[in-house]
Amino acid sequence: MLELYYGAGTCSFVIHAGLEIIRSLTGTQYTSHRVKVHQGEQRTPQYLAVNPQGQVPVLVADGQPLTQVVAICDYLDRRFPEAQMLPTDPWERAQAMSQLAFMNNTAHPTFAHVFMSHHFGEGEAVQAELKRFNRLRFREHLERIQQWVPAGDPDGWFGGHPVFHDVYALTLLRWGGLAGIDPDSLPRLWAHSRRVAASAPVAATLVDERLELNVYRQPG
């Protein structure tokens, strides 16, 4: 039995959409629980009993909780190898995990410094500089991810159906809009993300989480 605790629009979208992709390919069912992170539900005693770190996502697999996006991706691929969410060749798999790790431990924290600058510095001037500096860095990260997008307009990162990489890249580009980065300025990544978003499992996840794909607003 699989249960997912997720926050709408957060990095847990990667796992939420990933489970939908796996369900579409294998018929595997799961239960999802929305955590209203903007209302602080991740800090309630009930949720802290699930994840003492107070973060999403959490995947509960047969009663055992697992946290951290990259670890959950690895677990789901190993549990459902028929879904082909990651390469099977050892070197290709290692390279794929390296890309996921970059999205998770480099691009993601950079965005946090833009979107939640108050967590990293005090005072309006300090926070404004954090936003300015890290917005530039985040764009550089998106440009690097854009270089990884496979050529030939495939539906998925590895040439077939969408996988975790596609959904993480989509998530980060979507966040770019919140950081004042126009997705049209990253045409290859934006075109790929639109194709991924149009696939039935990812489209269903966007609807379930009530998310718009393009949230770009001109920075003020």
Assigned CATH for 90-199: 1.20.1050.10
Decide if pLDDT at 220 tops 90.
no
pLDDT for the residue numbered 115: 87
Collapsed DSSP state (helix, strand, coil) of residue 5:
strand
The reported pLDDT for the residue numbered 99 is 98
Query: What pLDDT score was predicted for residue 84?
Result: 96
Is the pLDDT at 118 greater than 90? The verdict is: no
Fold identical between 2-83 and 90-199?
A: no
Average pLDDT value for the chain: 95
Measured between alpha carbons, how far is residue 59 from residues 12, 32, 109, 114, 162 in Å? 10, 9, 21, 27, 20
Sequence spans of domains, the chain: 2-83, 90-199
pLDDT of 146 reads 97
Q: Is the pLDDT of residue 46 over 70?
A: yes
Q: Looking at the domain 2-83, which fold is it?
A: Glutaredoxin (3.40.30)
What is the C-alpha to C-alpha distance for residues 52 and 47, in angstroms, rounded to an integer? 8
Instruction: Label residue 21 by pLDDT band (50, 70, 90).
Output: very high
CA–CA separation, 30 and 50 (whole Å): 17
- Looking at residue 30, its pLDDT comes to 98
**What pLDDT is attached to residue 152?**
79
Does the structure show a pLDDT above 80 at 206? yes
Residue 69 has pLDDT above 80, yes or no: yes
